[in-house]
Each structure stands twice: as structure tokens, then as C-alpha cells.
Structure 1
Amino acid sequence: MTSPKVKLTPLLKLFSDLKSELKPVSGRSRVSVNSSVNRIFSKDIFAKYDNPPFDNSAIDGFAINEETRSISRDFFLLEGLLRPGSSSNVVLKKNEGIRILTGAPIPCGTTRIIFKENTKELDQKIHFVQDDYKESNIRLKGEDFKKGDLLFKKGNQIRITDLPLLIGSGNSSVSIFKPLKVGLITTGNELNPNIKKQSESFILDTNSVPLKTLLGYWGYSIINIGGVGDDLELLRKKIFDNLERVDVLVTTGGVSTGQEDFVSQLLKREAQLINWRIAIKPGRPFICAKLGTKYIFGLPGNPVAAFICALIVLRPSLGRIGGEKAWFKPLSIKTKANFNKYKRPGRTEFLRANFNSENGFVSIYPFEGSGRVSSLSWSNGIVELPEREQNIKMGDLVDFIPYESFF
């Protein structure tokens, strides 16, 4: 006897629903740039200074004043050396030059800076041996950005590569959305939290630590609420006792349609369902709902499905709730398939994959079970097969998403 066909929500429809439904819930605070990475701007950021703050030399060489570049190849060399971090009252007259180091303010009258390697010094004169007329080698005041320029928009996440710009523009502290407080609950009678002891009746909890680590990478405050067995009333108490402590709740397990899948039963009965059961593999039972003012995301219990759902759905969802303006989309690259694969149409599949940078081919894990945690360690990313894709043949181009795109 076949089970009745269940209507599943396509992944893109789920994303559309979440974009419409999810709203920022975080307050605002101000932090030092030193501790700002992965935080989200709560205000537009403007430059407080010009960069560079003054005209300066881009090279070590000679600052010269030449009226036209065809008149003379010899310049009178003034005494002295212009260094970065010091000021000078030197004024260069026509056909005069002076030694200068990279970063030093250029003296008045300078028309360009020339490389020392292109000259010879003789009798207090600089003589061109060869010349390159293409570059002035002068960094002009404000050529990078000017005071008052808009540098970052509200809702952008701060990356390590943004720090030089923030510091260089005079923004030593920034206004951010407070990090989300994310509560984590694992469910299941079978889970054993004791990693040092295995039992014939229990399995080790392989979801909690990876999920807490992911949430930490993404910049959130983690509240580890702990585990609860397959008991509806105990689950209800665990959720309601901790609801005010968190901004968002994330659960694992108990989200399918079984007799003891109590997370889905509870949310169907007492929460506003946003979506349940999506057309992806792995991760079909994923559920999201709103209980009062708090969002709850129920991940599958199988560790591979939980991990993939966290990357694909939880990451952009938490970003939106935490204040990110743009819906997070991981970097994907086109690579050649080192496999043949038939896929059922109508669902998006994410295959654990290993990309070989030497030959440009990507292989997939040979077994599909969502409990095979060894597949996560073996892989360095996932291959996304879109909903309409069916037959993938060796050498076909596929979308590979490195795990680093999510961290």
C-alpha cells in the first residue's frame, strides 16, 4: 500500500514566503570595530575623513617639478629626504627634485614622482636613464573616498575585509543590530549526550555541537536549552519556559508526520505555521512557525539533513531576522560532474560533494543516507541540483557550493 501523496513546497516558494514573513527583531547597540565582524549595520555608515588624507607619494624615488616632459632630462637635486609621518616646507621650483619615500606628503610644486631605478645621480643632479610617462605616482587626497561618502548601507553584514575601510574612514565604532539570541533544543528518546559512552539503545547527539558552532560562526548568541525526550508535554514546557529568553528557537528532530513527531504536532496546534515539508532532499520535513512573537525553526533529526537545512534555509532566515537587508545567497561555481545521476523532478537536491581543484571535476558521495555523518567529513561542499533537473551525465556542468561560502 502506497502512502498518500504529500504536497511539498518548492524551495524557491519557501524562500519567497520567508522573505515576506520574517522581520528583524533585534535591538540596536554600538560596538568597537575590533569586535564588529559578522555583525549587521543598523545605520548607514559614512566616511568621516578623506582617504588618503593628503597628497602623498606612491613610491620611493624623487619628487620633481617639470614644466613640460620634453624640455629637460636633468633636474637639480635639493638636499634632504621626505619621509612618511613628517611635514615639510619644501617648495619645488621648475626642474628641481628631492628624495621622497612612499607615503610621504608631496612638496608644493611637484608634478610627479619618478622611480629611483630610472635615474642616475651626478653632481647634485638627477638624470633620467629611462622614463615612463604613464604614471604620476601620486596618491591624491580623497581618491579612495571622500569625507561624507556613503560606505555601507544599513543591513550589510560586516566582513573582515571591511575593517580597513571602517578604520581608515574614522569609524572606530559602529551601530549594529544586537546579535540574535538563538535557543537550541534537541529532541528524541534515542539521543545520548555522553560522547564518552556508547550504548546499544542510544545514539550520540551529533547535531548539537555542529549547530552551535555554525550559529557562533554566524555571529549569534547561543542559548543551549538542552534536550528533551519524545514527550509532547515535556516539549511544550521546555519551549514555553524558555521562549522569553530567546529571539529565535531552533529544534532538531520530531518534525515529520509520525506518531511521536511532537515538534510538528505542537507547532501545528499552537503556532502560526509559515511552512512545513519542503521539496528538497535531504531535509523534506523542515518546519517553520511563529509562536507569539518568536520564530521557531524545526530541523530534521538526521544529522546530514539538519546540517544541510541549517546551511540552505536557516542561514538566510536568521540573517533576515537579525537585520540583514539582502537575502543571503552562498557563492556557487560551475564545475564538471564526475558522476552520473538520475534525479526525481519536482524537488531540489543537495548532494554531498568533493571538488578537485586540480582537474576541475566534482564527485559526489556514493551513499545517500542522511545519517551518514562520514559523508560530511568527506565532502568539501554540496552540489545543488535544481527542481527541474533530471539526468546529470559525466562532464555536465553543475553548481558546486563550497562549505566556506556559509562560514
Structure 2
Amino acid sequence: MNVEVKEFIKAIDGGILTPKGFVAEGIHAGLRYSHNDLGIIYSEVPAQAAAVYTLNSYQAAPIHVTKESIAKNGTLQALVVNSACANACTGERGQKDAEMMRAAVAEKLSLPPYEVAVASTGVIGQYLEIDKITAGIKEIKLTKDKAGEAGFEKAILTTDTCTKKCAFEAQINGVTVSMGGAAKGSGMIHPNMATMLGFITTDANVEQKSLERALRKVTDVSFNQITVDGDTSTNDMVLVMANGMAGNEPLTEKHPDWYVFMSLLKETCECLAKKIARDGEGATKLVEVHVTGAETDQEAKAIAKTVIASNLVKTAVYGADANWGRIVGAMGSSNIPFNQDRVSISFGPVEVFHHGTPVIFNEEQAREYLLGEEVRIYIQLADGLGAGKAWGCDLTYDYVKINASYRT
């Protein structure tokens, strides 16, 4: 997948272990019939930490535990995550199980419990097989090599068809700073957040409150702008650990190179978000909606996300049908006012609607474009300078098949 990267940022081959001072691994602990299902990331030194979480009113036990850990002093040194079971809607027992996961990692790595974050993903309403998890934690042998990175990436997957990772580097203060990420997500994706986990590591030296504000700002234009099926989950989080081992001066919003760090974080989050959208359950295409000319950026983002979330738009894209009427309908349901007489719409290079009037276009050219693996829909308004993007996927027969038998 092509990633647009600013000229001062370099996309490199790597992931969560690209930055200095991080090790990881994932193993099969027996929570699933096969494949890795338990993983750990560890920083050699305490890392400044920040996270954003699902806005679903049902928040799973691991989210409560991670919030508690970060709230202690704003740092983390380790993260443990399991797949197969979400440990959500599991009451007091679920809370104790999440705390036991944290305690087991803390004991293994000789850390205070509050230096450990916990994440879980999988089926809601089932209890963790905590004995298998604690035994697995003892078995994990953390490593810096590619096998450890790949092992962790596989351990966090559920219905995903592939692992999702990326890495970037840039010069800050004359020092090379790296950032890497790993994510999972395929269905139940409609963030503010959704069934997705995103873990980002960096060796940049960043002040914790600035890191927290940066993550919230970047999440708003990346992870919170993807949708697969309109459902928001109970477990999801994006978590950043910055251990400072690159040796740059401490970064805050006042530092002259702050924009470089923000660009690194944005590129990493957007790259992972697009990979999640592309891997939607049963999906065959990544769909990207660009809205320009809105009154504000916020309104542009809202319109873009409403269009990308429309099942009618998604099925039309799957069928390679240039049915622009479905886009207009979705725009109208966004509750964002706009000048309907000045709207223009294009599927890639093919304009189908101009200033509120249908355009005679080449149906075969439009169909050929929509048959591609990446589809961009451009919406031009005439109300201001606001711009925004959203990402999603097509809706296919296989989505129904996968989710009709998710537990079986």
C-alpha cells in the first residue's frame, strides 16, 4: 500500500522493534486452537506513555487496568495483550483477571505493577483462561529480532487476514528518531475507537502531557476516521510508549522540531488506520473519501465519515457501480449544512456530478476504476476551506459469512 510521507520523514522496513530499547515476543498460550494469542512489549527503560480508548459505555476490564497504570505517573515499561477473549462484560472476576495479567508481567520483569499496561481482544462475555495466560507469560522469551516482532504482531490478531505494521524515522535535533507500530482490526470498526488495537513505540524523548495531547489530536484524523461496519467495540485502545533512548532534547509543543514529531506520529497512525480499513472483514478494496471546501475541517471529516460508513455506498463500490446518488444521500444524512447547488463528486479521475448537476460520464471508465483495489471518492463543496478524509472498505457477501459464525 502506498503511503504519502512528508519529505523530511522516511518510511523504513520495520515495526514496534525499530526504535531503540524495545523487545517483544508473542506465543501460542492455548487460548486459540492454533496461532499466537499472547504477546508482550518491553522497554529497557520507563517510557512516557499515553493512550486513547473506546467511547463505548461498556469498557472492558483491561482498559480500566491500563488507565490505572498510566495515571500513576505517566510512564509504562511493558504491555501485555491477549487475543481470543476480550475480557469484556465479565464483572469483578474480569477485573481481577486483568490485574493478574498485569501482576504476572510485573513479576516476570521485576517491575512495579503500574508500569504494565494490559489489552485484550476477542469474544465479549467470556472469562479469560487466566491460568493459561499466566503460564504463557512465564514462557515468553523477549527478543529484539524480527521473529519477536512478528510473533507479537500475530498474537494480537482475531479475524484479521494479515498483520499490520509500519515504521518511520526523521531527524530531530540532529538526532535520528524512530517510530514503529503494530495494529489489529478487521471488523466491529467504527471508532471513536472500535475493535482495534494500536501499539506505537518510539525512542523519541517527549514530555508526557505533550505526548498525550499529540496522540489525541492525531487519533482524531486517523483512527477515528476509519469505519468498516458502524459498530463500536468495548476494548479498543491506541497506546504510545516513548522511551527517550534516541537522545534528543525533550520535546514539547514549544520545541522548534515539534512539527517533525507530530508528522511522525500522524504518518504512523494514518498508515496503521488505512491498513485496518483495507483489511475489513470480507473486504476487497480500501475506500478513501476526500472532502474539501467545507466550512470547517470538522464538518469535512464528519461528511467524509458519513459517506464511508454508508452500507449503500460500500455495496456500490463492491459492485463497481458508479452510483453517485448514494453518496449524495449519505452526505445529506450527515446533518452538516452545505450548499447543495455547488457540490461536485468524482470517483478517482471520473467526475460524475458537477455543481449540483449530473454529468454525462463514461460508465465503463468509472467501472474500470472502481474495480481497483484502492478507490478514492472526491467530494468538492463551496462553503469554505475545511478539508477532511475518512477510510473504509467495501461491503461484501463474505462479511455476513464471517460474522454469522464468529463464535463457532
* TM norm structure 1: 0.23
**Higher percent of residues as helix:** 2
State the structure with more CA Rg: 1
* TM norm structure 2: 0.23
